[in-house]
């Protein structure tokens, strides 16, 4: 077995992760580890009711308490012109009007619409003083009917969350030809129908969210230390909310401690910490508790599906029809719309040839925390109903579930294959994949294993599912490679490490491309003054960011050849690069990468 030089990286070769040493030694760079002189602490006072009018917030009850510096409410933000979290995607309501909910302000104005919604913030000299004052703040609510159940919220007479709507349908979309699908169902030999709930979940990253905003008397620039998966996106939103010029705000992200999609959303606290620091002209810090993360960070999933699959006499699929109620929570956000309306339809047909499809999706407002991305957002929402239909249909028709899947898979000779959503599958051998899978799991030997387990009073089950992994989001990313005077190479990447080992894999790739040691490479991410990019979400970091790195490395070497050729008075086409040197082909004349 060949062993790799540990000082150099090569893609595909195992190595110890570069970031692990400092993380295992307690040297992680998390926001809660940061502290600045004259730092104040922010505590968020949240609603304990799901739906209520705010009658009065009695600030005088705590303004004189020990250490209290300020108390801010929704009225303060409105007075200062702070805009709500923007919802910018161009989806529509059933009548064609733009998607709509009440505006999602960082602090509730007039009404609260979910348990955990921020109502006020207290800023104090210490964390304990902020907490004590927050717990003493008197707020008068008038409770009004709430609706948290998805199906109940969708009926016309349900308690409404937005006064400008006649119901709780914030957005809706249909895809496919309803008449064509109806005809296919009328001609079907067998139809499988099912109701399916994809239950609400909430992420629980190892490190809760944390924020620390630097603001000082002698400068207008704000520096926000965050734990966000997309520093550039957060920067763009905050500049819009506060109406700042880009150079007035810098966002720095170090270690995140796990994201899973929950840290790609823009939360009210992102705005509140910046607002408080800007008002007080001193650093302000907030770290979420586990309870706050559970209550008030974005949640995921929460769909109800009525799904139908039509088959002919041979078990071939004729048509798919799915009606979906997608819970958006109390307010519409971009992810809450994109997941059911933009992503789910891309994968719901999975690896199967489905001649006709009709999807009817409604985004429903409820008195619950807003929905955002979580673990492959859009893919589980689409694949789950499709694969449950396949299993149920196999049982109903008495067909082996593997055989039913095989006879409906997209054939290799049909590639490239355009799905009903308009996406192109350009490669794949799906039948071979499933054959290998069932062979390795000994699918046919299951009954013997089940019998043996039953003899010992144990239960044994098996499951099989197929899926298409639609990843990457926008297929662009920012990379800049820079040779430094100290003999190192800096890679500036718009992606964001959050525990997935990007420092290691990017260093491996760049070491291999430039033929330089790993310890000569520095990875720079998460600083909006140094690098812009889309960030890390949707399983895109290596797929998109790594691809951009390879292109960037090629461009870097081509530029290096031009500079070296000019310095050596040679033709660019006569220059070659090897082992960290640009040399004139056929000679020993050359320049080192850092010369």
Q: Please report, rounded to a whole number, the percentage of residues in the chain having pLDDT higher than 90.
A: 86
Say if residue 520 is in the same domain as residue 550.
yes
In degrees, rounded to 5, the angle at the alpha carbon of residue 402 between the alpha carbons of residues 398 and 403 is: 65
439 and 485 together in one domain: no
Task: Note whether residue 359 is domain-resident.
Answer: no
Q: Do 461 and 483 share a domain, yes or no?
A: no
Residue 1 pLDDT greater than 70, yes or no: no
For residue 127, the surrounding DSSP H or E stretch is: helix 127-136
Report the pLDDT value the prediction gives residue 286, as an integer from 0 to 100.
98
Q: Mean of the pLDDT values across residues 11-23?
A: 88
Whether 440 and 536 map to the same domain: the answer is no
Specify the pTM: 0.94
Domain boundary among 443, 465, 487: 465
pLDDT digits (tens, 9 = 90+) for 159-179: 999 999 999 999 999 999 999
**What is the per-residue pLDDT across 119-141, written as a single tens digit (0 to 9) for each?**
999 999 999 999 999 999 999 99
Per-residue pLDDT tens over the stretch 58-93:
999 899 999 999 999 999 999 999 999 999 999 999
Above 50 in pLDDT, residue 505?
yes
Query: What per-residue confidence (pLDDT) applies to 563?
Result: 93
CATH of the domain at 573: 3.30.365.10
Residue pair 176/356 in contact (Cβ under 8 Å)? The answer is yes
Same domain, 439 and 487: no
Q: Convert the pLDDT of each residue in 567-586 to its tens digit.
A: 999 999 999 998 889 999 98
Edge-to-edge order in the sheet of strand 138-143: 111-112, 52-58, 138-143
Q: Length of the chain in residues, anyone?
A: 595
Sheet of 479-483: strand order equals 479-483, 489-493, 521-524
Does the structure show a pLDDT above 80 at 515? yes
Output the average pLDDT for the chain: 94
Are residue 549 and residue 461 in the same domain, yes or no? no
Helical residues (DSSP H) of 355-429, grouped into ranges = 379-397, 401-408
Evaluate whether residue 486 is within a structural domain.
yes
Residues 495 and 568 in one domain: yes
| Mean pLDDT, rounded, for 9-28 | 88
Domain boundary (465, 488, 508) is at: 465
Strand 357-365 relative to strand 169-176, pairing: antiparallel
Q: What pLDDT does residue 468 have?
A: 85
Q: Provide the domain limits for residue 426.
A: 410-465
pLDDT tens-place string over residues 221-260: 999 999 999 999 999 999 999 999 999 999 999 999 998 8
514 plus 433 within the same structural domain = no
Q: What are phi and psi of 509, to 5 degrees?
A: -60, -45
Report the pLDDT averaged over residues 523-537: 91
Rounded to whole angstroms, how far apart are CA atoms 258 and 457?
A: 40
Whether residue 370 contacts residue 299, with contact meaning beta carbons closer than 8 Å, is answered with yes
State mean pLDDT over 309-318.
Answer: 98
Per-residue pLDDT band at 542 (split at 50, 70, 90): confident
Classified as helix, coil or strand, 270 is helix
pLDDT tens digit sequence for 357-377: 999 999 999 999 999 999 888
Alpha-carbon gap, residue 243 to 19, rounded angstroms: 37
Q: Give the closest residue to 483 by CA, choosing from 454, 437, 434, 522.
A: 522
- Classify residue 515 by burial, with Cβ atoms within 10 Å: 0-12, 13-18, 19+: middle
- Please tell me whether residues 531 and 430 are part of one structural domain: no
Q: Decide which of 440, 465, 490 is a domain's last residue.
A: 465
Question: Is 52 contained in some domain?
Answer: no
Asked whether residue 373 is assigned to any structural domain, the reply reads no
Residue 554: Cβ-neighbour burial (10 angstroms; 0-12, 13-18, 19+)? exposed
Q: Does some domain include residue 586?
A: yes
Q: What is the model's pLDDT at position 316?
A: 98
What local confidence, expressed as pLDDT, does residue 543 receive? 86
| pLDDT at residue number 312 | 98
Q: How many independent structural domains does the chain possess?
A: 2
Q: Which has the minimum average pLDDT: 313-322, 465-474, 494-503, 544-553?
A: 465-474
279 within some domain: no
Query: Does the residue 510 lie in any domain?
Result: yes
Identify whether 534 is part of a domain: yes
Verify that 509 and 431 share a domain, yes or no.
Answer: no
- Model confidence pLDDT, tens digit, residues 404-446: 999 999 999 999 999 998 999 999 999 999 999 999 999 999 9
Q: Is the pLDDT of residue 4 over 70?
A: no
Residues 507 and 531 in one domain: yes
Annotate 220-256 with b (16+ C-beta within 10 A) or e (fewer): eebbbbbbbbbbbbbbbbbbebbebeeeebbbbbbbb
3-state secondary structure 529-562: CCCCCCCCCCCCHHHHHHHHHHHHHHHHHHHHHH
**Would you place residue 389 in the very low, low, confident or very high pLDDT band (cuts 50, 70, 90)?**
very high
Same structural domain for residues 432 and 526? no
**SS3 assignment, position 370:** coil
pLDDT above 50 (res 2): no
């Amino acid at each position: 077995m060949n062993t790799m030089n540990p000082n150099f990286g090569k893609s595909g070769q195992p190595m110890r992760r570069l970031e692990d040493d400092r993380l295992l030694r307690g040297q992680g760079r998390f926001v809660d580890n940061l502290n600045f002189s004259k730092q104040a602490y922010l505590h968020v006072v949240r609603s304990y009711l799901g739906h209520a009018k705010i009658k009065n917030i009695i600030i005088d009850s705590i303004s004189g308490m020990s250490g209290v510096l300020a108390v801010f409410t929704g009225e303060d933000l409105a007075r200062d012109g702070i805009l709500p979290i923007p919802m910018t995607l161009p989806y529509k309501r059933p009548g064609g009007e733009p998607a709509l909910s009440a505006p999602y302000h960082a602090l509730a104005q007039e009404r609260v619409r979910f348990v955990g919604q921020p109502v006020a913030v207290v800023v104090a000299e210490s964390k304990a003083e902020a907490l004590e004052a927050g717990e003493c703040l008197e707020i008068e609510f008038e409770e009004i009917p709430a609706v948290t159940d998805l199906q109940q919220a969708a009926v016309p007479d349900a308690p409404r969350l937005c006064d400008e709507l006649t119901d709780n349908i914030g957005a809706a979309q249909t895809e496919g030809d309803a008449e064509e699908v109806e005809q296919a169902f009328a001609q079907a030999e067998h139809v499988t129908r099912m109701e399916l709930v994809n239950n609400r979940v909430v992420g629980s990253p190892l490190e809760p969210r944390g924020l620390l905003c630097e603001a000082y008397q002698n400068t207008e620039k704000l520096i926000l230390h965050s734990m966000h998966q997309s520093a550039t996106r957060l920067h763009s939103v905050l500049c819009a909310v506060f109406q700042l010029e880009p150079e007035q705000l810098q966002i720095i992200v170090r270690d995140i401690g796990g994201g899973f999609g929950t840290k790609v959303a823009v939360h009210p606290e992102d705005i509140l910490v910046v607002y408080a620091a800007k008002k007080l002209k001193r650093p302000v810090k907030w770290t979420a508790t586990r309870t706050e993360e559970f209550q008030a960070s974005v949640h995921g999933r929460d769909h109800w599906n009525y799904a139908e699959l039509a088959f002919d006499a041979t078990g071939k699929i004729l048509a798919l029809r799915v009606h979906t109620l997608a819970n958006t929570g109390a307010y519409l956000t971009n992810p809450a719309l994109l997941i059911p309306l933009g992503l789910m339809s891309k994968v719901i047909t999975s690896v199967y040839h489905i001649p006709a499809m009709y999807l009817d999706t409604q985004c429903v407002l409820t008195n619950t925390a807003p929905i955002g991305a979580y673990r492959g957002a859009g893919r589980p929402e689409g694949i789950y109903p499709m694969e449950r239909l396949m299993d149920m249909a196999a049982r109903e028709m008495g067909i082996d579930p593997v055989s039913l899947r095989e006879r409906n898979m997209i054939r290799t000779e049909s590639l490239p294959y355009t799905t009903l959503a308009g996406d192109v599958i350009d490669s794949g051998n799906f039948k071979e994949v499933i054959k290998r899978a069932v062979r390795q799991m000994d699918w046919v030997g299951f009954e013997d294993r089940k019998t043996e387990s039953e003899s010992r009073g144990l239960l044994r089950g098996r499951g099989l599912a197929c899926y298409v992994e639609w990843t990457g989001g926008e297929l662009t990313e920012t990379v800049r490679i820079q040779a430094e005077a100290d003999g190192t190479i800096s890679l500036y990447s718009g992606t964001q490490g959050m525990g997935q080992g990007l420092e290691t894999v990017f260093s491996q790739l760049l070491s291999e491309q430039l033929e330089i040691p790993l310890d000569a490479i520095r990875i720079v991410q998460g600083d909006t003054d140094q690098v812009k990019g889309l960030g890390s979400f949707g399983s895109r970091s290596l797929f998109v960011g790594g691809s951009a790195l390879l292109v960037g490395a090629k461009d870097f070497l081509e530029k290096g050849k031009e500079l070296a050729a000019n310095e050596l008075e040679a033709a660019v086409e006569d220059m070659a690069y090897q082992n960290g040197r640009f040399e004139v082909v056929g000679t020993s004349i050359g320049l080192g990468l850092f010369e």
